[in-house]
Amino acid sequence: MSVDLLYRPRRLRLTPALRAMVRETLVQPSQLVYPMFIEEGISEQQPISSMPGIFRYPEKSMDKAVKEARDAGISSLLLFGVSHHKDETGSDSLKPDGLLARMVKRAKDTAPDMTIISDNCFCEYTSHGHCGVIGTDGHVHNDHTLENLALQAYICAQAGADMVAPSAMMDGQIAAIRQRLDAEGYTHTPIMAYASKFASGLYGPFRAAAGCDLKGDRFTYQMDPANAREAQTEAALDEAEGADILMVKPGMFYLDILARLREQTNLPLAAYQVSGEYSMMSYAFQKGVLDEKRVVMESMTALRRAGADIILTYFAPRVARWLKE
Ligand SMILES: [Zn+2]
> Per residue in 131-146, pLDDT tens?
999 999 999 999 999 9
Ligand 1 centroid–CA 9 distance in Å is: 47
Ligand 1 centroid–CA 269 distance in Å is: 20
Question: Do residues 72 and 30 make contact, with C-beta atoms less than 8 angstroms apart?
Answer: no
What pTM does this model have?
0.96
Ligand 1 centroid–CA 121 distance in Å is: 5
For the segment 255-260, the average pLDDT, to the nearest whole number, is 98
**How many Å apart are CA 257 and CA 66, to the nearest integer?**
32
Ligand 1 centroid–CA 213 distance in Å is: 11
Ligand 1 centroid–CA 138 distance in Å is: 16
Question: Do residues 256 and 176 make contact, with C-beta atoms less than 8 angstroms apart?
Answer: no
**How many Å apart are CA 60 and CA 242, to the nearest integer?**
35
Ligand 1 centroid–CA 247 distance in Å is: 15
**For 111-138, b where at least 16 C-beta lie within 10 A, e where not — what string?**
beebbbbbbbbbbbbbebbbbbbbeeee
Residues counted in the chain: 325
β-bridge mates for residue 37, sequence order: 56, 80
| pLDDT at site 124 | 95
| pLDDT at site 46 | 95
Question: Do residues 94 and 56 make contact, with C-beta atoms less than 8 angstroms apart?
Answer: no
Ligand 1 centroid–CA 130 distance in Å is: 6
Question: Do residues 140 and 130 make contact, with C-beta atoms less than 8 angstroms apart?
Answer: yes
Ligand 1 centroid–CA 166 distance in Å is: 9
> Per residue in 197-208, pLDDT tens?
999 999 999 887
246 or 1: whose pLDDT is higher?
246
Nearest to 200 by CA among 213, 181, 185, 217: 217
| pLDDT at site 2 | 61
Annotated active-site positions, please?
197, 249
Question: Do residues 198 and 224 make contact, with C-beta atoms less than 8 angstroms apart?
Answer: yes
DSSP-derived 3-state class of residue 9: helix
Instruction: Kindly list the structural domains of the chain, giving each domain's residue range(s) and its CATH number in brackets, ordered by start.
Output: 25-324 (3.20.20.70)
Ligand 1 centroid–CA 176 distance in Å is: 17
Ligand 1 centroid–CA 235 distance in Å is: 18
> Per residue in 71-89, pLDDT tens?
999 999 999 999 999 999 9
> Per residue in 13-72, pLDDT tens?
999 999 999 999 999 999 999 999 999 999 999 999 999 999 999 999 999 999 999 999
Average pLDDT of the residues of the chain:
96
The one-letter amino acid code at 267 reads L
User: Residue 224 gets which letter from DSSP?
Assistant: P
pLDDT exceeds 60 at position 275: yes
